[in-house]
């Protein structure tokens, strides 16, 4: 019988000594009576170095003391054991996270005689758990973004179909009239029909061109270079003369532009779209001012100010979405211009925005990194 008990005790001792969890036995006053090798290794102490010391002297942290008091109270109230996660400090001062189980030891009379502590290093586990939580959060955000993009894509496809359908319907109508009753119409009316067909075809061609540009901007990678903005704007002004009509606008530009990083061909498209809008939606006598201000040490804000009717805050939130047009402002537009502006500037690492109020004109702006 004694031999059997001895074998059991020997097996228990080996199990405790070889356990991968740290095990410590404390007296009621917190004096360390025993720690196994795993506890010593986990906390960075040499064999026997902790024996006789109090747990309070080894871990003087105030939060640790509060948790110890709470554990003792719970155990004295009858709990079998108390589990918690807490930060421990190694001998070299480095922190790590442990899962800790505290059990009350009782003597043969059932009186409390000490504590058994079992500790497991969960630093890596908690890091993995946090990484998983962050990954799940990113996945949820990506799913939400994808759902929003799908909704935008539906609206985008509908708008494309709608904006291409209108000129195409006109083209078909005029073409059928010419085909079926060509001789019935006088030459000047035939010319009028043909001019309308050319005009609607040009509009469709412009929509398709800007769709291609929008797709190109979305997927093409570019290398940013210093841009001479004055030269870019001069080229843009030449391109928008077609929309001026018989009354060219008053355009004010600064004598010099701060250097910025971008992609000149795309920035020309930005200015073409902004200038075109300023002309279309300007006042009776269109006045346009262009400028640039140093936003921060590394950024330049470029802007264009018009004297148009202004835009409400509600409408401003829709401006930079594809095919978004404001009610009452469909002046030969199809709502792609500002979406292209946003895509280009974001591709160049900047931001776009508008400052406006009804009756006060509008200032559209974008930022680029200073060269």
Predicted local confidence at residue 162, as pLDDT: 64
Task: Tell me: do 239 and 206 sit in the same domain.
Answer: no
Helix pair angle (123-181, 187-219), 10° resolution: 170
Predicted local confidence at residue 32, as pLDDT: 92
* pTM of the predicted model over 0.75: no
Number of separate domains in the chain = 3
Cα distance between the two ends of the chain: 88
Task: Tell me: do 344 and 267 sit in the same domain.
Answer: yes
Q: How far is CA 367 from CA 103, 159, 299, 339, in A?
A: 63, 29, 6, 16
Distance CA 272, CA 344 (A): 13
Q: What is the CATH number of the domain that holds 146?
A: 1.10.287.130
203, 220, 237 - which closes a domain? 220
Task: Tell me: do 113 and 230 sit in the same domain.
Answer: no
- What is the span of the domain harbouring residue 345? 222-371
Interior CA angle at 235 toward 326 and 344, to 5°?
50
Closest CA to 96 of 63, 124, 71: 124
Q: What is the CATH number of the domain that holds 36?
A: 3.30.450.20
Distance CA 119, CA 37 (A): 12
Predicted local confidence at residue 117, as pLDDT: 92
Predicted local confidence at residue 316, as pLDDT: 72
Closest CA to 89 of 78, 81, 98: 98
Task: Tell me: do 212 and 314 sit in the same domain.
Answer: no
Task: Tell me: do 232 and 200 sit in the same domain.
Answer: no
Whether residue 256 has pLDDT greater than 70: yes
Closest CA to 90 of 161, 165, 22: 22
Lowest mean pLDDT among 53-67, 161-175, 257-271: 53-67
Task: Tell me: do 234 and 349 sit in the same domain.
Answer: yes
Distance CA 357, CA 42 (A): 65
Distance CA 182, CA 190 (A): 8
Whether residue 333 has pLDDT greater than 50: no
Task: Tell me: do 246 and 307 sit in the same domain.
Answer: yes
105, 121, 137 - which closes a domain? 121
Task: Tell me: do 238 and 207 sit in the same domain.
Answer: no
Whether residue 312 has pLDDT greater than 90: no
Task: Tell me: do 155 and 104 sit in the same domain.
Answer: no
Task: Tell me: do 249 and 197 sit in the same domain.
Answer: no
92, 121, 150 - which closes a domain? 121
Predicted local confidence at residue 44, as pLDDT: 92
Whether residue 163 has pLDDT greater than 70: no
Predicted local confidence at residue 331, as pLDDT: 46
Q: What is the CATH number of the domain that holds 314?
A: 3.30.565.10
Starting from the edge strand earliest in sequence, which strands make up the sheet with 81-89, in order? 32-35, 22-27, 112-121, 95-106, 81-89
Task: Tell me: do 349 and 238 sit in the same domain.
Answer: yes
Average pLDDT over residues 52-79: 77
Residue-wise pLDDT for 203-231, tens only, equals 788 778 777 776 777 677 788 999 999 99
Distance CA 342, CA 363 (A): 15
Give SS3 for 84.
strand
Alpha carbon 271 to its chain centroid, in Å, reads 27
Q: State percent of the chain over pLDDT 90.
A: 34
Task: Tell me: do 248 and 279 sit in the same domain.
Answer: yes
Predicted local confidence at residue 139, as pLDDT: 92
Which two three-digit tokens encode residue 270?
């930005």
């Amino acid at each position: 019988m004694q031999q059997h008990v001895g074998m059991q005790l020997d097996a228990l001792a080996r199990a405790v000594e070889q356990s991968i969890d740290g095990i410590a036995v404390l007296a009621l006053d917190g004096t360390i009576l025993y720690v196994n090798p795993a506890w010593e290794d986990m906390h960075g102490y040499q064999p026997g170095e902790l024996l006789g010391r109090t747990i309070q002297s080894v871990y003087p942290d105030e939060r640790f003391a509060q948790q110890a008091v709470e554990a003792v109270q719970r155990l004295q109230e009858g709990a079998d054991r108390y589990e918690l996660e807490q930060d421990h400090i190694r001998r070299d001062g480095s922190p790590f996270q442990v899962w800790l189980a505290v059990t009350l030891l009782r003597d043969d009379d059932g009186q409390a005689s000490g504590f058994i502590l079992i500790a497991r290093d969960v630093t890596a586990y908690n890091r993995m758990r946090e990484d998983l939580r962050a990954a799940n959060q990113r996945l949820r955000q990506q799913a939400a973004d994808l759902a929003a993009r799908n909704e935008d894509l539906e609206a985008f496809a509908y708008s494309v179909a709608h904006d291409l359908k209108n000129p195409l319907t006109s083209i078909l109508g005029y073409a059928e009239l010419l085909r079926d009753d060509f001789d019935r119409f006088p030459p000047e009316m035939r010319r009028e029909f043909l001019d309308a067909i050319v005009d609607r075809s040009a509009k469709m061609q412009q929509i398709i061109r800007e769709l291609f540009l929008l797709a190109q901007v979305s997927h093409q990678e570019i290398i940013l270079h210093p841009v001479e903005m004055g030269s870019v704007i001069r080229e843009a002004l030449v391109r928008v003369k077609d929309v001026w009509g018989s009354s060219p606008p008053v355009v004010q530009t600064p004598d010099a532009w701060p250097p910025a990083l971008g992609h000149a061909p795309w920035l020309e498209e930005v200015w073409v779209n902004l200038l075109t809008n300023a002309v279309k939606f300007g006042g009776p006598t269109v006045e346009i001012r262009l400028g640039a201000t140093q936003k921060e040490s590394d950024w330049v804000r470029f802007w264009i100010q018009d004297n148009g009717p202004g835009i409400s805050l509600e409408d401003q939130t829709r401006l930079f979405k594809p095919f978004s047009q404001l009610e009452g402002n469909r002046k030969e537009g199809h709502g792609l211009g500002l979406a292209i502006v946003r895509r280009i500037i974001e591709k160049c690492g900047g931001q776009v925005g508008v400052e406006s109020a009804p009756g006060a004109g509008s200032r559209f702006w974008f930022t680029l990194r200073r060269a």
